[in-house]
Structure 1
Amino acid sequence: MARTADHGGGVRSIRVPIPDNPLGHTLVYVVDTDGGPVLVDTGWDDPDSWDALVEGLTACGTSITEITGVLVTHHHPDHHGLCGRVREASGAWIAMHAADSAIVRRTRDTRPERWFVYMEGKLAAAGAPEEHLAPLRAARARGSLPGFSPALPDREIVPGDLLDLPGRRLRAIWTPGHTPGHVCLHLEEEHPAGLPGHGRLFSGDHLLPGITPHIGLYEDPDDATLTDPLGDYLDSLERIGRLAPAEVLPAHQHTFPDAPVRVRELLAHHEERLGDLLALLGTPLTPWQLAERMEWNRPWEEIPYGSRHIAVSEAEAHLRRLVKTGRAEAVTASDPVTYVAV
């Protein structure tokens, strides 16, 4: 399969590989402007990924040194990872929504040990067994704590605003859920092939053609606010459905039309999943116990250690939604806390 694709109207994409990940690659978009090419996302910070990006830009008729800016849909490393190297090579600015910029700053400033203590406490409160918690404590005791220093953005993507891209009409749409500061970018220009609808949408991970993005709790060691990421995501989906773009240009898989149809599928999927969880909550369960019983792409016993953190976070996000909508409640005085259907 070709590494680059021309989507017409001064928009091309590059398949940038994600190491050891079933998603395979991130679609990095190259948008021509009167001030020079701008990227939507950059891909994972890995030597092979960097080489693919550099070679892809050459194949697109430009080069890494000519990039003038990067628009980051959200802070995850398969989107934001190579921003620092792009900026070093080209002097490009990096723009991100303020909520995700705050996460980048916090990631850079928070000592790794603090994250281990935080995650251990959260997992224990969710009912994780001792055999799952022990490796976290052992890693902290050994001092084997990874450092992570993602590139700081130097511009803010403001929802509703037209971005400062000479010769283009690209508007930011805030779509929280997958992350608190996820944005989609709406190219308010006639579709180059004349497809019916309202322009084109760079959807990041918010709207994908064949999979659903992970919706877990927003993690912040210093903020105990009870957020509702799944509620945020469902509201954001409806907003994009009303927009009705002619074509969606996602960060994974492939481009597709009929965004309202895909939105309806995803809304129905999540409502069905909430119903399935309510059935499981006929007896009180901790978030960990609920995650063990939820339907995943493989049996729980085969889910890797690190992926179980993600699964439990997703279970908790669904529990938050059920509690907020009055369909489940916490059992008084349970420790760790259990939840039951109302």
Structure 2
Amino acid sequence: MTSSLDGGPVHPATYDHGGGVRSLRVPIPDNPLGHTLVYVVDTDRGPVLVDTGWDDPASWGALTAGLIACGTSVTELYGVVVTHHHPDHHGLSGAVREASGAWIAMHAADGAIVRRTRATRPARWYAYMTDKLVAAGAPEEHVAPLRTARRRALPGLSPVLPDREIEPGELLDLPGRRLRAIWTPGHTPGHVCLHLEEDHPDRLPGHGRLFSGDHLLPGITPHIGLYEDPDDATVTDPLGDYLASLERVGRLAVAEVLPAHQYAFTDAPSRVRELLRHHEDRLADLRELLAEPLTPWQLAERMEWNRPWEQIPYGSRNIAVSEAEAHLRRLVKLGHAEAVTGSDPVTYVAA
């Protein structure tokens, strides 16, 4: 293995993790993450994939070539377990099912997002995004492109429907294996980690291995934003969900984590503690910023990102504002911030 920019190991295009588990690097076009680690798990009925990768010809080529390098092929696949609905995880699931007849399993909450995405007309989504950004205090020059683009078709918004719903705590249909679904909402409402309840092939101490999707990564803090139904007024707390899910995963005390990005790692409880501290510190920093009333957009402008706000691309600013709102909701729920009565767009201040 070579080293990544953050000092961690980088697996080659295919890598044998032992015990009938291998990983394939499936590229993500024009994305700094570079690739998704798709896992191949041997079962008595044929290989099962954990995630599939981005829907792109080069990604499909990498997936099919990787399977051949592992001594199998896409036509031999028995099933696909999707950790969450994002396109770098679920994008190729339809092509895999068409080529193999494999079933696709996903948690019901993310399945609902897939159904909503397929059913909602582009104009409805543009209107919803426009209204959300205006309410968050976005300037008109940022919102204007959404107003003029309403009738334009949105690419990549026809993800395939799953065949099966993943029930939290269930042992999944992998004959000859013990793979248990752990519901870990936060990054998405239906994100699941998958606990392989088998001895580690290298006898590392701990309780099996964990396919962690994007929930637990060795050197990246996953995005925590809002995934809401335009027709549902329920106020969610995704950051609170994520923090509770982190603690639940830490208590599993697994021997090794097999994430969807970067590289496999051990000592999951230590990484969980790091992430909990990170979010605790970030919430404290945001509370200081809220010494003066700020809209979610103004808060996002002042938050610490991986680059200055002026260098953040248009689409990434929308994601940043969504994350700012998720943090605001957590602060409000904890009683550490409150909305300013009568403000329009609404501003928040530390309580």
Residue of 74, 79, 91 corresponding to 1:69:
79
Task: Name structure 2 gaps, 5 residues minimum.
Answer: 1-10
Residue of 20, 33, 54 corresponding to 1:44:
54
CA distance in structure 2 between the aligned counterparts of 1:113 and 1:234, rounded to whole angstroms: 34
Quote the residue 1:308 is aligned against.
317
Structure 1 residue 220: Cα displacement:
1.6
Amino acid at match of 2:153: L
Residue of 111, 114, 127 corresponding to 2:137:
127
Q: How does 1:228-243 map to 2 (within 5 A)?
A: 228-243=237-252
Quote the residue 1:338 is aligned against.
347
CA distance in structure 2 between the aligned counterparts of 1:296 and 1:220, rounded to whole angstroms: 27
Is 1:60 aligned with 2:66? no
Q: How many residues align?
A: 340
* Equivalent residues of 2:122, 2:152 under 8 A apart: no
Could you list the structure 1 runs, at least 4 aligned residues long, displaced by more than 2 angstroms after superposition.
Answer: none
Q: How does 1:85-234 map to 2 (within 5 A)?
A: 85-140=95-150, 143-147=151-155, 148-234=157-243
Structure 1 residue 224: Cα displacement:
1.2
Amino acid at match of 1:52: A
SS state at 1:243 partner? coil
SS state at 1:94 partner? strand
CA distance in structure 2 between the aligned counterparts of 1:193 and 1:216, rounded to whole angstroms: 37
Structure 1 residue 145: Cα displacement:
2.4
SS state at 2:282 partner? helix
Amino acid at match of 1:316: E
Quote the residue 1:10 is aligned against.
20
CA distance in structure 1 between the aligned counterparts of 2:103 and 2:48, rounded to whole angstroms: 9
SS state at 2:224 partner? coil
CA distance in structure 2 between the aligned counterparts of 1:188 and 1:305, rounded to whole angstroms: 43
Structure 1 residue 315: Cα displacement:
0.2
Normalising by structure 2, we get a TM-score of: 0.96
Amino acid at match of 2:219: G
CA distance in structure 1 between the aligned counterparts of 2:304 and 2:343, rounded to whole angstroms: 25
Residue of 268, 293, 296 corresponding to 1:284:
293
Quote the residue 2:34 is aligned against.
24
Structure 1 residue 222: Cα displacement:
1.4
Provide the alpha-carbon RMSD of the alignment: 0.7
**Sequence identity percentage:** 82
Task: Name structure 1 gaps, 5 residues minimum.
Answer: none
Normalising by structure 1, we get a TM-score of: 0.99
* Equivalent residues of 2:36, 2:261 under 8 A apart: yes
SS state at 1:45 partner? coil
Structure 1 residue 217: Cα displacement:
1.3
CA distance in structure 1 between the aligned counterparts of 2:96 and 2:35, rounded to whole angstroms: 18
